[in-house]
Copies of this chain bind each other. A is one copy, B any other.
């Protein structure tokens, strides 16, 4: 249940530096729109969608950033390790969450109520590495999502059946 405390100012700066590094490596140019998107994204505590990002840039009266720009920026944020794409929340589309300076974790989702629990298993991480090595692969990432029903949803089901 541990809440991911947000980055402090210094953390934000390190994140921007990581973004700039990727931008430079790719021969792209610096731009304020990209950093605006990055900052808006990094400030989120939980899971958010592209639409959330676009909306937030308006709500906070920051300069507006268009959806197409957000979409164009996202791959860079992923590559810079600021965000990670996740697939929880049933059919509600693609979500993102901060990954920068945050310990890795996977998700356990309740198919009944949509509750999301984060978990981490060093044992699973280790086996993943072993599997990759056994096939001659070097891992660059993974996605791992468990689906199930939580206690509350199972009890709800029992009632309605009674």
Contacts and interface: CB of A to CB of B under 8 A. Distances in A.
A142 to B, nearest CB: 5
A160 interface: no
B132 A141 contact: no
A144 B144 CA distance: 4
Contacts of A138: 148-149, 154
A123 interface: yes
Given A142-B144, A143-B144, A137 B149 contact: yes
B137 A142 contact: no
A121 B108 CA distance: 19
Interface string A135-162: 1111111111111111100100000000
Interface residues of A, number: 31
A111 interface: yes
A148 B149 CA distance: 31
A62 interface: no
Nearest to A132: B148
30 contacts: A87-B87, A108-B132, A108-B135, A108-B137, A110-B137, A117-B135, A119-B135, A123-B127, A124-B128, A128-B146, A131-B146, A132-B148, A135-B150, A137-B148, A137-B149, A137-B151, A138-B148, A138-B154, A139-B146, A139-B148, A140-B147, A141-B146, A141-B147, A142-B144, A142-B145, A142-B146, A143-B143, A143-B147, A144-B144, A144-B145
